[in-house]
């Protein structure tokens, strides 16, 4: 069906507006990348816009050698990977039984979990509980309080409920128990939603900030988010000795170092996303049920 001239104009205007919106969100990232890869003189004179000027990797070299960015990056990986695995396992073991119609009191338990989305214990009571458990200066203080996202659990539970009953019936006829049914039948066809929820958890753990400030007092345990925030808020980063070693021979400006720190913070998630994106568009039930 051919589009009318008015529809063509409407689509063209939409494409232009969406392209402008996409560029407006992309320009700040390009500017940061250009700052982190430019020479100090170009940054000081304000000649850097969207492309690096006097290409140089000095900022990244100095950031790696004169700061705790490598240790913070390692801490962020540990927090993200471990937290995502624990959260996904817990979410899975909560969503599956709540999706079974024969599970006793599943409605009451679901309502109890939804209640936590509306009301919480509050900051001070939560801190006192974490402190009483001896979790201060432990990553368990980051993982345990938010181990299960009720929103993610409801998404996974609804997904399990919408799977064809024929799959479960066929598996039970073959002698599958609950564990085998979940591991060998339901999980393989649930990879799109599991990958999506894993991405949600991963981004949340990678960007965790407030909990780190409250529960982690040891500077050697801080993650990239906290370190970059301290760099950005610092009035004179180079004068505090946090970034430059005494014998450093490379001279860079603070804006370049801060931009490099921000890039180190955001690039890992940009790299991970394309590998998980394929699950977003993959057919969930293709080939799983034969007529």
Residues 12 and 125 in one domain: no
The number of CA neighbours under 13 Å toward the Cβ of 55 is 1
Q: Higher model confidence: residue 276 or residue 128?
A: 128
pLDDT tens across 45-72, in order?
778 888 888 888 888 888 887 778 889 9
Q: Higher model confidence: residue 86 or residue 47?
A: 86
Residues 97 and 44 in one domain: no
Residues 100 and 212 in one domain: yes
Q: Which of 13, 33, 56 is the last residue of a domain?
A: 56
Residues 67 and 186 in one domain: yes
Residues 49 and 78 in one domain: no
Q: Higher model confidence: residue 285 or residue 132?
A: 132
Domain holding 194, by residue range, is 59-291
Q: What percent of the chain has pLDDT over 90?
A: 21
CATH code for the domain in which residue 220 is found? 1.10.3720.10
Residues 1 and 105 in one domain: no
Q: Which of 9, 24, 56 is the last residue of a domain?
A: 56
Residues 155 and 38 in one domain: no
Residues 99 and 228 in one domain: yes
| pTM, 2 dp | 0.82
Query: In the predicted model, what is the mean pLDDT of residues 258-275?
Result: 86
Which own/partner pairs from 206-212 qualify as long-range (CB within 8 Å, at least 24 positions apart)? 206/76, 206/79, 206/80, 206/268, 206/269, 208/79, 208/142, 211/141, 211/142, 211/145, 211/146, 212/142
pLDDT tens across 186-209, in order?
888 888 888 888 988 999 999 999
pLDDT at 232: 79
Report the domain count for the chain: 2
Residues 1 and 82 in one domain: no
Is residue 231 within 8 Å of residue 261, measured between CB atoms? yes
Q: Which of 25, 41, 56 is the last residue of a domain?
A: 56
Residues 245 and 111 in one domain: yes
Residues 40 and 152 in one domain: no
Residues 24 and 117 in one domain: no
């Amino acid at each position: 069906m051919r589009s009318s001239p008015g529809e063509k104009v409407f689509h063209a205007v939409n494409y232009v507006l969406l392209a402008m919106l996409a560029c407006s969100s992309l320009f700040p990232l390009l500017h940061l990348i250009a700052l982190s890869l430019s020479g100090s003189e170009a940054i000081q004179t304000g000649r850097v816009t969207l492309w690096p000027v006097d290409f140089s990797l000095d900022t990244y070299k100095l950031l790696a050698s004169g700061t705790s960015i490598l240790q913070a990056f390692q801490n962020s990986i540990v927090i993200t990977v471990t937290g995502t695995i624990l959260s996904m396992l817990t979410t899975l073991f909560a969503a599956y039984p709540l999706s079974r119609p024969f599970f006793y009191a599943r409605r009451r338990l679901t309502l109890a979990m939804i209640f936590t989305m509306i009301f919480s214990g509050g900051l001070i009571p939560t801190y006192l509980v974490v402190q009483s458990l001896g979790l201060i200066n432990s990553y368990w203080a980051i993982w345990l309080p938010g181990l299960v996202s009720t929103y993610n659990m409801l998404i996974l539970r609804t997904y399990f409920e919408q799977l064809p009953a024929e799959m479960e019936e066929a598996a039970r006829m073959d002698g599958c128990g609950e564990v085998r049914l979940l591991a060998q039948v339901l999980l393989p066809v649930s990879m799109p939603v599991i990958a999506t929820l894993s991405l949600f958890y991963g981004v949340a753990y990678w960007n965790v900030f407030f909990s780190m400030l409250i529960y982690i007092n040891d500077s050697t345990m801080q993650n990239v988010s906290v370190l970059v925030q301290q760099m950005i808020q610092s009035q004179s980063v180079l004068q505090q000795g946090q970034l430059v070693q005494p014998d450093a021979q490379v001279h860079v400006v603070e804006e370049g170092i801060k931009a490099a720190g921000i890039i180190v913070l955001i690039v890992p998630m940009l790299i991970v996303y394309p590998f998980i994106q394929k699950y977003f568009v993959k057919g969930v039930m293709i080939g799983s049920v034969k007529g």
